Amino acid sequence: MKIVEIPSFFPPYGGEFCLEQSKALAALGHDVTILANVQLAVRRGLFTYLLTPYKRRWVTVDGIQVYRSDMRGIPLCVRPNVKRWVNIVRSMFNTYVHINGKPDIIHAHCAKWAGYAAYQISKEYGIPFVITEHLPSMIYKAEFGTDLTKVWQIPLLKETYKSSDMVIPVAAELVDDISCYFGKDYRWIEISNTIDTDFFAYKERKPLKGRRYRFCCLANFIPRKGYDVLFRAFELLVTHNANVELYIAGKDTKGPSCMAMLGNSNQIIACGELDKKGVRDLLYNSDCLVLASRSEAQPLVLLEAMCTGIPVISTDCIPQSIKKLSGCTVTKIDDAVQLSEAMLKRCSDDNISSKMISSEVVNMVSQEAVGLKLEQVFKNIISSHG
């Protein structure tokens, strides 16, 4: 198949999911090209905004051909920026077709606005399009506010979902989550994001004898991640088992607000923000990952942790597809007592099959597993179009 991928975001502003799924499809022998129109924002970096090249260019990223444009967003002009962004993507697609011919299918990441651009292209060229949806309602809530009658984006996106050949939420729960904005009048099938299962490969942990049981939490220090609940749970845990420690990592975990919340605890170690290798190193040196989040779409860190062979404890805001894995323990949101009890049980449980925990995740979210699922969906859609 000849596949065009259109991300709503791309580095330096996210978009790694698009690249990873593109690599998964390319690994199966498909011809994959990413059309990336990156909207640069002054507030996110004046240096990048001013000095990034203006011309569109072809580059290769991790073996994937990328046709890239960098669009200067106009501050506080959302609607004009959206119109420009979509028109640029359509122009980029025209260039792609002139060079490569028409693709078999268009794969957009997020209806807002890659999906909408794909919809416009589909109407012009008669090419089927699908949308992988990553965005939860909390993202839309921040932008749309409470008076939805005045939100011009909703009718456009609702029509986009309805007109797509398939919507692919990364978690089934997203369908209900965003239905308050877009309804459910569309076809959908759940396919998880992929993680780098080779990078986060299984590794046997050191024996517990002579050392503390180490919990870790990989999350930015923001209210949604529930660090206040985690710290209270850990405080309760220590009263029952003092031979434990907690390593925390993520943006602002070494900031003043986090340090003030930590107090004088010498069993909680803040690591700050880590790169991908730093994340893996922390997981390899931990026995269990804990996430006390109040809301999540698809927390890939849970899958990365289990892929390395350790169990995880999380709250019940996570997708059912993760809850059902044998390495996952679920507690109530904002319940420090229940969380501490789960942590106490975990650090005294010797009946954990680390290899089975890892293999379940590999079978679910490896590059090959996700690629094959996408491939089958795409083939079915293309064949139905004749």
DSSP label of 386: -
Please enumerate in sequence order all residues whose Cβ is within 8 A of that of 206, keeping only pairs 6 or more positions apart, or say none. Answer: none
- Report the percentage of the chain scoring pLDDT > 70: 98
Residue 11 has pLDDT above 90, yes or no: no
DSSP label of 267: S
SS3 labels along 99-110? HHCCCCEEEEEC
Which CATH number describes the domain made up of 2-194+366-384? 3.40.50.2000
* pLDDT band at 46; cut points 50, 70, 90: confident
Residue 316 has pLDDT above 80, yes or no: yes
Out of 52-56, 185-189, 229-233, least confident range:
52-56
Strand partners, 128: none
Please enumerate in sequence order all residues whose Cβ is within 8 A of that of 128, keeping only pairs 6 or more positions apart, or say none. Answer: 104, 105, 106, 122, 165, 381, 382, 385
Domain boundaries, the chain: 2-194+366-384, 213-364
User: Taking the CB of residue 151, how many other CB atoms lie within 10 A of it?
Assistant: 16
Task: Please report the DSSP string for 148-206 in residue order.
Answer: GGG-THHHHHHHHHHHSSEEEESSTHHHHHTHHHH-S-S-B---PPP--TTTT---PPP
213-364 has the same fold as 2-194+366-384: yes
Question: What would the pLDDT profile of 91-137 be if each residue is shown by its tens digit?
Answer: 999 999 999 999 999 999 999 999 999 999 999 999 999 999 999 99
The predicted model gives 347-354 an average pLDDT of 79
Residue 55 has pLDDT above 90, yes or no: no
Q: Domain 213-364 maps to which CATH number in 3.10.620.30, 3.40.50.1820, 2.20.25.650, 3.40.50.2000?
A: 3.40.50.2000
pLDDT value, residue 351: 67
